[in-house]
Amino acid sequence: ATAQIGVTGLAVMGRNLARNLARNGFSVAVHNRTPARTRSLVAEHGDEGTFVPSESLADFVGSLERPRAVIVMVKAGAPTDAVIDELIPLLEEGDIVVDCGNAHFADTRRREEALRAHGLHFVGTGVSGGEEGALRGPSIMPGGSAESYQKLGPIFEKIAAQVEGESCCRHVGPDGAGHFVKMVHNGIEYADMQLIAEAYDLLRAGLSATPAEIAEIFREWNGGELESFLIEITADVLGHTDAATGKAFVDVVLDQAEQKGTGRWTVQSALDLGIPITGIAEATFARSLSGHADQREAARRVFPDAGEKWQVDDRDTFVEDVRRALLASKIVAYAQGFDHIRAGSREYDWNIDLGGTATIWRGGCIIRARFLDRIKEAYDGEPDLSTLLVAPWFAERVSAGVPAWRRVVADAARAGVPAPAFASSLAYFDALRAARLPAALIQGLRDNFGAHTYHRVDRAGSFHTLWAGDRSEVEG
């Protein structure tokens, strides 16, 4: 046995992860169901490090040092279960199975429990950054036992992206914690992209600007507080010209956003936990809406555009307003995402370090951004922070942005430009800070039709009004 770690599943992600391990000096056992992939990896990249190829799973397992660490990088779902079932009889107590696929955290919890019964560690690990990340340094979110992390930590922390000398990998928490955090990461990515798309749409409508002109605005924004990978590539995509037609690339792409389902998972989980992640939900629904071409066509016919042109008065003020509204809405989306992680951590006893999570996302992943440093500072400074919105750095930006935020949302509504994530983030902010919410009326209605009772502001206890009787109040 000579290999320190193994990878089974050598499609694009597994192949690149194995290469990353080898390039970092780790000896890597490699295996794939179809051996041709294993052979081509070794033939094309064998000189990058030490690969120990095997054509059977038994030989692969036999080539690993104990305790064995096997990374499974196959299609999520049934293929992952099939590979795990094949591995179990080949492994021995204390060995570690790492699932780096995009698994749902509930599946990870189930698998962890099943493998624990066999004396094996199961480590559901979120890996973000796509193909390039897997090869050059992804953001890595490992769950599973602390014991398994003793073996995996030094390896994963080395192959992960590094930002200012700090690794974008750290142990997230037990069983499904890693995949849960990866799921919320993807949800935040949905919100971030929707907000960027709305900002672009508003700039385009309000300024009658071309995509190339808007690319310039994003390039400028990337030099400031909004600096992030997504803002950077937005400038790139908006500035791109379609070779076939000579038109702006963004104008020749069908305007129907697709999804693989992690946004939906995030929203479903948030509903279960009772956490209002309105930004992520709006973003997920906005993608769904864009795909309903028939309904859009029907609505367009019945409610045609009035044809009035929207032209903002002052270009620079408007651009700055949109920037501030984008930053404030983005802060809301991250605040909600971190609330969701905290709720999951409490529900499943994961004890997740929120500031540490922000550190993992500073590099390697799609939502890498300058302001993640501020999130880390906020939670490190006050681990029980009630919401990121009230942490000083964020509170300042939100307060300073409120007038702009209101103008942008109002302008969008007047001009008929849909800005669901901007509007809903502002509504969330206003609801959080409201002295009184109309929830009191909802409680009254519930008591009226269903005797569901209510609490009073002036006395402890539950109460019910005899709505159909003499309207006197009784203890509920």
> By the criterion CB under 6 A, which residues form the site for ligand NBP?
9-14, 32-34, 37, 73-76, 79, 82-83, 101-102, 127-130
Peptide bond into 89 cis (omega under 30): no
Nearer Cβ to ligand NBP, position 85 or 93? 85
What type of residue sits at position 379? Y
Nearer Cβ to ligand NBP, position 89 or 165? 89
Nearer Cβ to ligand NBP, position 99 or 198? 99
Tell the smallest beta-carbon distance from residue 452 to ligand NBP (Å). 43
Nearer Cβ to ligand NBP, position 38 or 424? 38
112, 157, 189, 282: the active-site residue: 189
* CA–CA gap between residue 220 and residue 231 (Å, rounded): 10
* CA–CA gap between residue 20 and residue 280 (Å, rounded): 32
182 is catalytic: yes
Place of tokens 């942490």: 391
382 is catalytic: no
Nearer Cβ to ligand NBP, position 30 or 120? 30
287 in a labelled binding site: yes
Strand 166-167 and strand 162-163: the pairing is antiparallel
182, 198, 282, 376: the active-site residue: 182
Tell the smallest beta-carbon distance from residue 468 to ligand NBP (Å). 56
Strand 51-53 and strand 69-72: the pairing is unpaired
178 in a labelled binding site: no
* Closest residue to bound ligand NBP by CB: 101
111 in a labelled binding site: no
User: Structure tokens of 126?
Assistant: 């979120």
Beta bridge pairs of residue 140: 127, 169
CA 35 to chain centre: 34
250 in a labelled binding site: no
Residues 6 or more apart from 412 whose CB is under 8 A from it?
A: 198, 202, 418, 419, 422, 423
Beta bridge pairs of residue 210: none
Tell the smallest beta-carbon distance from residue 73 to ligand NBP (Å). 5
* CA–CA gap between residue 277 and residue 422 (Å, rounded): 13
Tell the smallest beta-carbon distance from residue 17 to ligand NBP (Å). 9
Q: Which residues are annotated as a binding site for substrate?
A: 102, 128-130, 185-186, 190, 260, 287, 446, 452
Annotated binding site for NADP(+): 9-14, 32-34, 74-76, 102
State the catalytic residues. 182, 189
